[in-house]
Structure formats: C-alpha cells, structure tokens
Structure 1
Amino acid sequence: MSAPDRSDGHERRPADDDFWDALRSTTQSRIGLGRTGDALPTRRVLEFAAAHATARDAVHQPLDTAALAEQLGENGFRDVAAITSRAADRGEYLRRPDLGRAPADLGSVPRVEADVALVLADGLSPRALADHGVALAAAIRDALPPDVVLAPPVIATQARVALGDHVARALGVRTLLVLIGERPGLSVADSLGIYLTHRADPEDFGAGVTDAHRNCISNIHPPEGLGYADAARIAAGLVVGARRLGRSGVDLKDTSRGAIAQADDLRGLAAE
C-alpha cells in the first residue's frame, strides 16, 4: 500500500484533490488550502506572502509616463498630455487622498472641440495602467459611435478618480472616462477600472460631483477578468446613454447586455 502524500503538511485523499481542483478552476479566491495541525501548510503561507508582496509592489511601482505616451502614439492617439496631482510623491499620495483629487497644473491640457475626454490615471495600481491602459483606450475609441469625437488623451499620475473632473473642465468636454488602476488585492494586482462622469462640473450638481454621479466598470484584466472589448462596449453604451439622459450615475444603467440579447434574438429570427 502506498504511503499518504504529506507534501503540503497533511494527508490528502485523491477525492479531496479532485473536489478542490474543480472548484479552483472557477475562481481566483484561495479555497481548500488544507491545514497542518491548527495552521495553514507552509506552502500556502508562502503563497499568501508572495501575493501580498506583489500587491504592495503594484501600488508603489512608478508609472513610466513617457513609455505610455509613446505606446498611445503608436496606437493612433495624438497630442497626448501629461499631468500630475498635488501629491508630491507616492507616500503623500497614499496618506492624502484629497491631494490626489486636485491637479498641480493644467497648463498642458488644451481646450478642444470634443465630446468625450479620456484620462489614463495610475491610481492605486500603476502596473494595471501600464499593462492594460493602451489596449483598453484603443478598444474604447473603436467602440464609440462614429459621430462621437474623442479628445486627445491625458495621462495623470498620483491620481484619484476626481482628478479627471478638472481635466474634463479644462478640455471643455462634458463626458469623461477615467481609466484608473484599481486597488490591488491578494488575487489580482493589475486590474483596471473605468469611471464615467457626464457634466463633471460642480455647478451642474449643486453640492458638487460625488460618486453617486459616476458609473463604474471594474475588474478589467484579461484573460481572468473582464476583457477589453466587453469593457469598451459597456463604456460606449454608457456614454451614449449619459448623453441622451443628460446625466450619469445612479440614474444611468448599463443596458448593453440586454441590447446584445435582443440583437441575438433578431438574428435568430432572421435565420429561421
């Protein structure tokens, strides 16, 4: 009779392995970790420590603004501008979220004739923006209706979402899309989010722009998370909806999935 497998600190049975392996294929969560006595196996502890280090690195990794601007240029974006917030460094950015919401200088942001502003912000994961920002920006550009004019993109560092409101007003654009690195977790350190704000002017909202005036698309990090094309399709649908409704936020809903289902039904009927 073969000896039990104790490579991870406790006896495992083939049925247990099959059960947890099947579940692990459906999630990035840490499940079925096992135990050694009353503690986790050493391998699992080391995996956790490595994931924590990866998340910390993603937060502190500086964004190569010049490289990102060059990649945007190679993908057809012109006149890319770059700004920074009032946070002097990464430490201050993390300690003072309010400084990340205000620009240090908007002199490089031109006044334009456009419908939608696109801000690429490092947020809490510059790595996410470096990995996915250009491809997602290109997908959004391609998904927007042909009559929607996209302003030259603006790269923002040490940035929070609300920094984009200042950029939109400086550009003279009413609809804003902020692509921003999301807070890294222990499963994903390179996830991007998209925040849409229509009419990003405090005067339009009385007390000012709040999160209730924004729409968010999150968890964008293919292949495990939401893909570029799907995220861009949702964003384009929200842009069209916001411009029709005259506002964004809690009153604006994502109807893209319903529209796709309706289109599939129509195609099916046409094929019969």
Structure 2
Amino acid sequence: MISHRRSLTRTRSLAAAVAVTAVLGVTACSSDDEGEDSATTTAAATTTTAAQTALPTVEELGATLGRITDTAVATADKLDTVDGGDQSAELIDALAGAAQSTGTVLAAVDPVTAGATAESALATVTTALPDQEPVVVENLEFVHRDGVWKISRAAVCDLVGRITPDQIPPVCTGDAAADPNAEDPAAAAAVDPAPEVAAAPVGDPAIRDALLNAGVDQATADKLAENPDATVAAAVNMGIPQATADQFRSNPQGAIDSLRAAGIDPVTAAPQLAAQL
C-alpha cells in the first residue's frame, strides 16, 4: 500500500511539472510573437515616415514669398522660388509688380498641411493692403523640388489674380504671348482682311490653366472654369471628396494632383463633370 501511494505521488508530481513547462513554453512563444509583430510594425512605420518629406515652416514659406515680391532682387536670382522657375520669369515679375503697385504684403501663416503627394504642402497665405485687414487665402500649394520648397505656378496665378485681377499674365489664362517676330498686323491687313477674333473665354483662369496643363481639351476646360461653384457641386455629386472639390476654387492644381493621387484621371473625369453642368 505504501509503495502504491509513493508511485501515485510521483505520477502527480510529474504531471504537474509537464503542465508548468507547457504554460511557460506558450508564454515564451507569445512573447516572441508579440516582439516580432512589434518589430514589424515599427519597421513599417519607419519606412512610411522616411517616404514623406518634412513639411515646411511658415518662416521658410514667408521667406520665399518675400523674395518673390522684393523688386530689389533681380528676377534671375529668384527663379528658384517658383516651381519650374526657368519658365516662370513672367509669373515672378507679375507677382512682384502686383505687390509693389498696390502695396500688398504677403505672409505665410499656420496651418501648413500635407498636400496630395509626399512632396507637396498646402499653406495659408494672407494678403494685406495698407490700412486694411489681411485677406486669408487657404490651400495654396508649395512643392519640394531640388531640396527647396517652392510655390506652385497655379498658386502664383491665384495670388496675382487676387491682388490685381485686371493684370493677370497670359501664362495664367492660357493665352499665347505675342511673337515679337510676327508680321506687322497693319501690313497684313492691307493684303487680307483681319480674321474674326473670338471672344476671350470667361471664368476662372487658374482652373482653366490647371485643366489644360493636365491634358483636358479646351472646350471642356472653358466650361468647367466658367462656373467654379457648379463645377464643385458636380464633383461632389460624382463622389469626389468635398475637400478635393473645394480646391478647384482656391488651388485648382492641388485638386488635379488630389484626383491623380486617388487614381482618377482628370482627362477622363473632366468631360463627365462638364456633362453635369
């Protein structure tokens, strides 16, 4: 009887030891799995963060706006302030001239938010006339090029149009600049009658310019630019997010970039929008 009890005791002790070992093994595996999951999550987060360009500060953007509007600085020395600066001298001069002629002071203020891509940002800018309250302009696009934050061409056109709406440069409206080598119009008129001149398109020039640059045909771009409010409403009806649709008013190029980032081709979407107007 005593031998039987000792055998039973040893059996129970062995079973308890096996159970404890199993529990410890499961706990260790769970801890290892959690550690691996945590490491994977951290690595993914690090990769995502590395792909994003740090947003500019309002001081950086303010310095850019200050250089553009400083008429004491030669145009050639501030081509790096605008995206595609080597083709933007006319825009730079237009904004500088508009600011000087009206006494307008431009300033960047918070907030600065991420744009449609990792290398774009949307900033708030104020335009202040002497003895008047500043006007707030939201969602002006800046882009990161060659290690520098530059203001987009569409944003420059937007600012010029707000400061001097009667002096918008042709590059903002899509009109071709006059060719200095063209034949003298008076001489041509003596030979052939002058062709009938079509009326200038109406509507928002910045919207038209952004659509044309995206590859949208002239007729569709004119129709969408003619009534920005109707265009925004049609975009929302098509399922385009309200924030993206609203950009057609303040930052049409930003709206185009947002559509592309969402996998929507502006060339395809624009006729569908126009059909609803």
TM-score by length of 2: 0.30
- More helix per residue: 2
Rg comparison, structure with higher value:
2
* TM-score, normalization by structure 1: 0.30
